[in-house]
A and B are shown apart, each in its own frame.
Chain A
Amino acid sequence: MGFLEHLFAGFVSALSGYGVLIMAAGVAWGIVGGAIPGISGAVAMALALPFTFALDAPTALILLAGVWAGANYGGSIPAILMRMPGTPASAACLLDGYVLAQQGRAAKALGVSLICGTIGALISIIVLIALVLPLGEIVVHFGSPETFALALFGLTLIAGLSGPSFLKGIASGFFGLLLTTVGLDTLTGSMRFTFGSSELLTGIDTISVMIGLFAVSEMFYLISHPSRPAGEVVAGKAGTAFPSLRELRDVGRATFVGTIVGLVVGIMPGAGATASSFVAYNEARRWSKRPELFGKGSLEGVAAPETANNAVQGGDLVPTLALGIPGSNSAAIMLAALLLHGIMPGPFLLTKHPDLVFTLFAGLVIVNLLMIPVGIVVLRLCLLALKLDPPVLIASILALIVIGTYAGDLFVLNPVQALIFGVIGYGMRIWGFSAAATVLGIVLGVLAESELRRSLIISHGEWSIFVTRPVCAVLLFLTLGVLLYPAFMTALRHWRARRVAAAPAAKS
């Protein structure tokens, strides 16, 4: 049977029976789960896992694929509406999404996130279907040095997130990096900053800290500044106008950048959706025609990270299907579902169970197409929440944050972290530090530290490993360029300005 016949059979199998209904239910479940703070895509999939026992293996897979795709989008809803990242991967999109919501363009941001995210996911799935085996060969060449170089590349964004003080931005970024060192060190087994508590053994809970820094601090800010028209700020004008075609065309470039970043970062085994969304945000700004709008309500600033974190799905599945090694927690749950259905995942999945894999491929395409209608229904409902009285909305959000961060791990220390970092985030905001830079540090900290140290173990302590490996060298060269380019441009502008200033003087 040829490739296309397999794919056609996959579509037939995915659409047979209650296929579409199950996928739509999965997408809806995923969007709701992703939108609840603290419930990540992987947790939403795990919660759906018991239901898959009653289904056959292909149907179970497409159900989980639906939850996965839905959760990728769902996280951006509270990020945009309430400055509350539903999943870590949606933290980058609130940088502009929440500003847009305050400007009364919430529905536009949500629409861009939905449509661009879907485009990114579809492209990445198509690339996956076409190239899964060749890409599988590439995966193993992305080792620790390459992932470290990617983390450095991503960290250049600190400059962009700095706010009024560059120094405070750097300090904020360092603080974020420092937070990731808390807990049991993977590489040596030593305990760092645990202060004798075993609760801190596994480190800080990323999503709880993010929610604390962004959302809890915002709620505290709204509560403690009484005369501010709080309702308007949280709700925006509850603008329900979806993005126009023109606006969608305008974010095309950012969508393209986001897709590329998502694909590449997705294939790299160490990095994930969250890292990709921040890198995409930075890159989209660099390549944008209107970089000055970033951070002040740019639709591109929503499109790029959301496209990237959805486009990671295809990349994540490359090692999962080609090597049987999950590319992310979500992919691990897909493999667990297979194992529980009596199918052994591994490098032979594609040759031994082509029907299953092609049903999954077809399911992924259909699921992402279903995202648009299901997503529109859900986001319409979510926009209704903004019609609530401001105090009621704030109280509900705080209660939701506590139960949501608890529900992810059923661990009461997670809401405690959200509260502590809510206070810290508040202080950072008042005194001009950048919570966003701290979050960036948290996202890239483990990559930066573990991969750097691991690279040096691999190289027997030789730093030359970073320049002798081509992919790594290219990434580091790019990072250096990114750092030096602005300084070069400033010098150039200075020089031009002096010439322009000198010219009229010479004439008169």
Chain B
Amino acid sequence: MKKRPVVQTICALAVTLAAGAALTGPAAAQKFPTRPITFVVGFGAGGGADVFARAISEAAKTTLPQPLAVENRPGAGGTSANAYVAGRPADGHTILFAHAGSSVITPIITNQPSLKWNNFAPVARIHAEEEWLMVHPDSPWKSAKDLVAYAKKNPKKVRVSGSAIGGIDSFVVLSWEKAAGIDVEYIPHEGGGPAILAFLGKNAEVVVGNVSEFFQHVEAKKMVPLAVASEKRSPIFPNVPTLKESGADVVMVQWRSILAPKDTPADRVTALAQAFRKAMNAESWKTFNRNAKAVDAYLGPAEFRKFLASEEQRFTKIIDELGLRKKK
């Protein structure tokens, strides 16, 4: 069992040594990056975070002199990767995937400020995916207002399928309940896929989640978009109003971004941010984003830091209102 990869090993060894020899010229010392950059993802392979990381890494091949290698370190809701990256040398050769869940929500809920975004150097926000509410094609509700009116008269009757409590999906629904003054039955699932299956099996009247997972079901006429939880209407279904338009001020998007260890030199952070920004023009990235139904939402290091601070405030408020934060 452990003898098998010997041949691969020798090949890999030879290749690595050759590559190393080629790069250790005197000029290499000045430049950054000098070796492959490790892109740590706190979630397992095949999930949204992982696919994002791999796609942007592939696109960045053309804009960075060194490749990015995605490293999955799943565990503790993404925060075991935070802990790992926090302990890595701050030389720009290790970067970290971050979204609201791993860099803001989970550290707040578990009372681990050391793993929160402000103990890292924000590099760039890359893209965002909208959160949608969908209903069945034969649903009696034609708009979010219809649904709210029904839910007000029939508390706990409308069932909404989504992913686990503590994720963005659940926060959209819980905030919506508060903002619209309704009480729906939220059915949490282990992930977006099972939530959709439960909805398609008519175990729920509404499903909430990322549009990338819904889009083809809308095309297949199995789902009808009801509302989007974004600031303004989405280019994907421009006829569908926002939740805000329907009177409930709920704005929540699933953004995906990159952090670096806290003391990473500013010039290296800037170099990385610019490389990512350029990578977003690559054809492969555009195709990926089109398929993933995500919109580019680039923010450079400074703006991204401000954005994160505002996100933290917002989520702290929601989490405390829900009483989700662990007691000290």
Contact = CB atoms under 8 A, between A and B. Distances in A.
A144 B216 CA distance: 24
B1 A144 contact: no
B180 interface: no
B265 interface: no
A396 B4 CA distance: 15
B198 interface: yes
B71 interface: yes
A253 interface: no
Given A199-B80, A381-B1, A325 B197 contact: yes
B54 A187 contact: no
Nearest to A43: B45
Interface residues on chain B, size class: 35 or more
Given A46-B72, A187-B188, A199-B76, A348 B216 contact: yes
B45 A46 contact: yes
Given A53-B58, A77-B1, A199-B80, A346 B51 contact: no
Interface stretch (A277-285, A450-458, A477-485): A450-458
A184 B76 CA distance: 9
A184 to B, nearest CB: 7
A191 B75 contact: no
Main DSSP-derived SS at the A contact region: helix
A202 B1 contact: no
Contacts of B196: 323, 325
Residue from the set A143, A201, A333 with the largest chain B CB neighbour count within 10 Å: A201
A269 interface: yes
Contacts of A187: 164-165, 188
Contacts of A413: 75, 80
Contact of B115 (A36, A198, A326, A348): A198
B176 to A, nearest CB: 17
A384 to B, nearest CB: 7
Contacts of B70: 50
B313 interface: no
Nearest to B193: A325
Contacts of B76: 198-202
Contacts of B314: none
B294 to A, nearest CB: 11
Contacts of B75: 199, 201-202, 409, 411, 413
Interface stretch (B17-25, B118-126, B256-264, B284-292): B284-292
A242 B170 CA distance: 54
14 contacts: A36-B1, A140-B201, A186-B164, A187-B164, A319-B193, A324-B217, A325-B196, A329-B44, A333-B45, A347-B219, A378-B1, A413-B75, A457-B159, A458-B159
Given A409-B44, A458-B187, 17 more contacts: A187-B165, A189-B324, A196-B326, A198-B112, A202-B76, A323-B217, A332-B45, A333-B46, A336-B47, A336-B50, A340-B51, A340-B288, A343-B291, A347-B220, A347-B222, A409-B80, A458-B159
Interface of B: 1-5, 44-47, 50-51, 54-55, 58, 69-77, 79-80, 84, 106, 109-110, 112, 115, 156-157, 159, 164-166, 170, 185, 187-190, 193-194, 196-198, 200-204, 213, 215-217, 219-220, 222, 284, 287-288, 291-292, 322, 324, 326
